[in-house]
């Protein structure tokens, strides 16, 4: 029995003690640095992470600042059923009621000086004719809201060109649309349902030939409010302008179409800029001038000066009356003369941007001359002439 203890038990206990000592050695090394010389630590190499991280963040950060929200407000006339009291009793009838129509959409800044491409149907619809003037406001990515003016439209391709008065804006560069293929990954950026700017991802489903160009079909989710926004590639370059969706429910069903970027940018290349002053005004006839200002003043009274416009930069104020352009005095003796006076003012649109003109103004009972350098756009000198009633308009 004693021999069994000597040859089996004690060696087992000794081995157990040795094993415990070995296991505790790494902890002892942490507390006794001198032991590191005798117990070099083995470097354990971790297996590399083979899971690829796919992200389009850099493309979105590059492109998103150039995508804007558009709010177009116009007054349209809609028929409504009304009940009228007549000598025969209550009768139903239809009357035309003017209502304000709001159209929400997106747009893409395509140059640092404020040119914006969007969809035609964001600005106009079936019940809003082209002739109707619109109040278009642009919400920039940095929070600013600026007025925009319509420069050019292409109804067949569902495109419109707008302009805002701002400089050094972020803008989107065009991709080479000649290299597009079905299966390419694309991203759609816009303001769907007015919830704020957001991004959806998909692929090019097909490229459909149409006339001398083509349209891009994509399965990226395009919802109401995305119209006019950007379809970009994974490098953040502009592929197209989101146009329409094919849907029975009104929401995205994975069939959306975009107009190629080169077709959209051709609006700017083909656009012939005209002079732009940047005021809204109304006609002041000689009769009205004598009645309201006790003076022989006649011309156009400034009711609004657009922000950052040439008029604002030149110092034109609300309430000023434009009485002359360059060497031509405005003569509006009565309502019949308004058309002739308008032709003088509208001649501004025939002058090129950058042209220096001299305006004669009537302000606070005095006449003054003010130099103005015209900007880019369409002339917005007056809105609607008022009919003459008695001695006032």
Catalytic positions, please? Answer: 121, 158, 227
- Backbone angles phi and psi of 164, in degrees to 5: -120, 155
Contacts of 95 (CB under 8 A, 6+ apart): 79, 80, 82
Q: Where are the beta strands (DSSP E) in the chain?
A: 67-86, 89-109, 115-118, 135-139, 145-154, 159-164, 185-190, 198-210, 213-218, 230-232, 238-245, 256-260, 275-276, 279-284, 299-305, 321-325, 328-329, 356-363, 366-373, 375-376
Nearest to 70 by CA among 217, 235, 242, 322: 242
Establish how many alpha carbons lie within 13 A of residue 307's alpha carbon, considering only the half-sphere containing its beta carbon. Answer: 10
C-alpha–C-alpha distance, residues 333 and 123, integer Å: 37
Please count the other Cβ atoms lying within 10 Å of the Cβ belonging to residue 68. 30
Q: How far apart are the first and last CA of the chain?
A: 132
């Amino acid at each position: 029995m004693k021999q069994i203890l000597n040859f089996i038990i004690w060696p087992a206990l000794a081995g157990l003690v040795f094993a415990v000592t070995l296991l505790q050695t790494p902890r002892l090394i942490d507390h006794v640095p001198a032991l590191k010389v005798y117990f070099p630590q083995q470097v354990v190499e971790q297996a590399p992470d083979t899971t690829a991280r796919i992200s389009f963040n850099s493309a979105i950060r590059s492109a998103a600042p150039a995508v804007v929200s558009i709010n177009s407000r116009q007054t349209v006339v809609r028929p409504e059923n009304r009940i009228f009291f007549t000598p025969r009793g209550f009768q139903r009838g239809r009357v035309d009621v003017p209502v304000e129509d709001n159209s929400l959409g997106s747009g893409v800044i395509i140059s640092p000086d404020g040119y914006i491409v969007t969809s035609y149907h964001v600005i106009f619809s079936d019940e809003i004719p082209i002739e109707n003037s619109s109040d278009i406001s642009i919400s920039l990515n940095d929070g600013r809201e600026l007025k925009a003016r319509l420069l050019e439209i292409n109804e067949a391709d569902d495109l419109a060109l707008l302009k805002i008065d701002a400089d050094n804006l972020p803008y989107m560069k065009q991709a080479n649309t000649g290299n597009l293929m079905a299966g390419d990954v694309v991203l759609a950026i816009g303001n769907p349902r007015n919830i704020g700017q957001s991004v959806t991802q998909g692929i090019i489903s097909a490229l459909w030939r149409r006339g001398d160009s083509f349209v891009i079909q994509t399965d990226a989710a395009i919802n109401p409010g995305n119209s006019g926004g950007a379809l970009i590639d994974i490098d953040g370059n502009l592929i197209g302008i989101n146009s329409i969706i094919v849907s029975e429910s009104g929401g995205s069903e994975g069939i959306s179409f975009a107009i190629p970027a080169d077709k959209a940018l051709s609006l700017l290349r083909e656009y012939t800029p005209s002079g732009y002053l940047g005021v809204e005004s109304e006609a002041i006839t000689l009769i009205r001038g004598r009645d309201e200002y006790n003076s022989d003043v006649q011309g156009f009274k400034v009711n609004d000066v657009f922000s950052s416009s040439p008029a604002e930069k030149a110092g034109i104020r609300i309430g000023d009356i434009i009485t002359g352009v360059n060497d031509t005095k405005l003569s509006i003796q009565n309502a019949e003369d308004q058309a002739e006076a308008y032709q003088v003012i509208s001649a501004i649109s025939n002058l090129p941007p950058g042209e220096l003109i001299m305006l004669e103004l009537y302000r606070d009972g005095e006449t003054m001359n003010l130099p103005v350098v015209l900007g880019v756009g369409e002339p917005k000198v007056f809105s609607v002439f008022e009919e003459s009633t008695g001695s006032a308009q």
